[in-house]
A and B are shown apart, each in its own frame.
Chain A
């Protein structure tokens, strides 16, 4: 945990209320998110028990499985789920525009957004995607045509959700933890009820007291995918042994409805926070990814296999690292409270400009002509840990490249190297400025070889991928 977040945790405990960790909302929030709360049978990896799903508070659909151990019922459930989720995604995927950039590409006008309660929900989506995307729609054990399609879309959304800043599939507790710091420990903080009790306690109660009450599984049943063992033993088991569809339905509703309410309360809380500037740009990347995936499926592309090839793995890792770096930097550029976290760690500093030598001209090493390289001195009380030569950027002038010349006690000297076009301004004496090593643009990354040219160091070119039934199996099953 960062220094600032530790401090906010202590303050949350002292004040009995969660503390904001952001001044703006860093994730795009859809006007019509789909809330999805899955439950599974205890002791099974991917046997769905029930789900509550819908795009509005008043529009909850409850799906249940009378006997979760029956494979046939499992895929009937998947077909019902697909009837809701697939059209929701396809509605967005169908509407595309062409970008007006130099090399034009397709992107969707808007994108779906699925919200699950916690990281466990994300992992469960990965598993149901895996167990459905390879299913055959004819022959023995055929499933409804929508089922493999559901698997492909859920797999796509889960894979995409691993990229920092993507917002098409989010876990609510992650989203809340990004914007508020509670007095709960890490493992406690994935309890949606406890987290909301700290963020928005009832009148006259502290976060501690509210969370204690909220953690009672009878009052706030677990937000899934695992159920309360008490419920399993005393309610679920008798209803599976002696089936009674109506009573099971009501029992499952009782387990899911409290979480449903919490999810929409959390959506309301997040809607009240203004959008971060760069959230729209990240949502655009999601819209582009959606259009690409839609084309891939429409043109008969194969579902992704179980394992990445050497080249695919390296390419994905580079993408993940780029997204992570750029998301962290954009957040700090958009939000002074996030920047404060980096200032406390020594990755940024804020200070007042003392002098500006705007007319300074030097001949850079290896060059022959005089060029303008203004010098700026800044007085700061932040700990500055950068070494001379470090390249720094400022959120106020993100296009202006600067390099650290020296740090002398609390006086920092910077040289401005680029971004001095006509309408650009230089920092002026007295101005409060912030400089950081973070760079929202992310680094340029070199190309990797084509899969068919995988070198011998990485096992040579892999055989061509043909999906089989085995792809749906776990390594340990």
Chain B
């Protein structure tokens, strides 16, 4: 069975399972770039065809706008309501569709066949209900946010869609008051629903984003329980560098990445401040060299030159983002933290390794979701920039979190996932 057939069969199965109405809730686990949005769009179209009313909950305005745009482009006939906060300025990609009604009051959009809004906006709606609901990015949604909106579809059927490998939701409050409770409000929406209901879980089997060089290692490191395969065969995606290389610290790394899909640009072992100027400089300079060498990407859709908007530099902290921005990166390149890169896709990504130059490996820096986001945004190649010595650092800080009663064990373990990725990068190490 080709990846296309495999993926189509799974989607059909999920669709019929959900629309049969036999479950009040279903969970769909979607690895990076596995066609989550496509699934949401085809489910919506199916329900609208059957003359049903649907609400969609996403987490950020950006996600809502992306979804509305995709939905309206794929099915221009559908009547879509985009509910938003007062004073929100919708982007052109939403306003250009004549079938989309935008308003900040539910009265003006509730009669649309599909109503889309952020969880924060839905939380202010009451006294209404929908027979069908899709909760998108449900693993990034906090349990208390779901509690605020679940009454709207409690008598209907809900589809929870999301990527279990990415970052867990976050709170400024550190409390173990609720640790171990099934409805701990600090968990994700899926975690709480699964602990109290044990819903059926489907899994999308193919990553269309990750190349054949990345899917197996990302799958092994971050999705040990249920793996996935790449949508393209080895060699189907290729990078070409038309401009000849120069001696210097950057080109060997770029050539390794274009040849194999991975490179570890390893700087000398040193304990540094969090905003290590050498790493910041290397990230910016490598991005510039990729553009200078006129990189061209060949894939299943044809060929295109790699422009700055197809490159991202990912960091763990905001001050690292600021340090890279100050290191004179090429204009137009995306530079952001892992949290904000979730759900985004590029041709080439450069990663500031979260453990680079550190003296300790804290839970924050070991979190598997962070490394998973950073190493799974690319369609062609991923270049990791780091100080040497991370493997030793990991061995000196074996992961030993406090044992808590009634807390389900989390997979994957961040410590092990870090080692898996590092062992893979070891084969692509370039020391300038």
Contacts and interface: CB of A to CB of B under 8 A. Distances in A.
Contacts of B146: 457-458
B75 interface: no
B143 A458 contact: yes
Interface in B197-216: 197
Given A320-B175, A346-B319, A383-B322, A314 B144 contact: yes
A162 interface: yes
B24 interface: yes
Contact of A317 (B24, B89, B173): B173
Given A314-B144, A476-B405, A457 B192 contact: yes
Interface of B: 24-25, 89, 120, 123-124, 126, 143-144, 146-148, 150-151, 154, 158, 171-173, 175, 177-178, 180-186, 189, 192-193, 196-197, 318-319, 322, 405
Contacts of A307: 181
A310 B147 contact: yes
B147 A447 contact: no
A457 B89 contact: no
Nearest to A460: B196
A385 B322 contact: yes
Interface string A438-475: 00000000111100011111111000000000000001
B196 A458 contact: yes
B185 A317 contact: yes
A321 B184 CA distance: 15
Nearest to B135: A457
Given A313-B181, A320-B173, A346 B150 contact: no
Contacts of A187: none
A317 B171 contact: yes
A314 B143 contact: yes
A284 to B, nearest CB: 23
A446 B89 contact: no
Given A313-B184, A457-B25, A458-B192, 5 more contacts: A385-B322, A457-B146, A457-B192, A459-B197, A460-B196
A325 interface: yes
A37 B171 CA distance: 32
A215 interface: no
A89 to B, nearest CB: 23
28 contacts: A308-B181, A309-B183, A314-B144, A316-B177, A317-B171, A317-B175, A317-B186, A346-B318, A366-B89, A383-B322, A446-B123, A446-B148, A447-B123, A447-B148, A448-B147, A448-B148, A455-B147, A455-B154, A456-B25, A456-B154, A457-B147, A457-B150, A457-B196, A457-B197, A458-B150, A458-B183, A459-B183, A475-B405
B318 A313 contact: no
B357 to A, nearest CB: 16
B295 to A, nearest CB: 28
A318 interface: yes
Contact of B144 (A317, A324, A456): A317
Contact of B151 (A320, A321, A449): A449
Nearest to A443: B120
A446 B123 CA distance: 6
A311 interface: yes
Contacts of B181: 307-308, 313
Nearest to B173: A320
A345 interface: yes
B144 A318 contact: yes
Interface in A45-98: none
Contacts of B178: 308, 313, 317
| Cβ-closest 9 pairs across A and B | A446-B123, A314-B144, A310-B183, A455-B150, A459-B196, A455-B154, A457-B150, A314-B185, A317-B185
Contact of B197 (A162, A317, A456): A456
A325 B182 CA distance: 27
A456 B405 CA distance: 24
Interface in A275-294: none
Contact of B319 (A308, A311, A345, A365): A345
Nearest to A3: B319
A383 B124 CA distance: 37
A456 B156 CA distance: 11
Contact of A365 (B24, B89, B175, B192): B89
A383 B325 CA distance: 12
Contacts of A385: 318, 322
B431 to A, nearest CB: 31
A365 B172 CA distance: 34
Nearest to A344: B319
Contacts of A314: 143-144, 147-148, 185
Nearest to A328: B172
A316 B184 CA distance: 11
Interface string A299-338: 0000000011111011011101100110000000000000
Contacts of B24: 456
A15 B180 CA distance: 46
B190 to A, nearest CB: 10
B343 to A, nearest CB: 18
Contacts of B143: 314, 458
Contacts of B405: 475-476
B165 to A, nearest CB: 22
A401 to B, nearest CB: 10
A455 B151 contact: yes
Given A313-B181, A317-B185, A453 B151 contact: yes
B1 to A, nearest CB: 35
Nearest to A325: B172
Contacts of A456: 24-25, 150, 154, 196-197
Contact of B322 (A311, A318, A346, A447): A346
Contacts of B151: 449, 453, 455
Nearest to B172: A324
Contacts of A446: 120, 123-124, 148
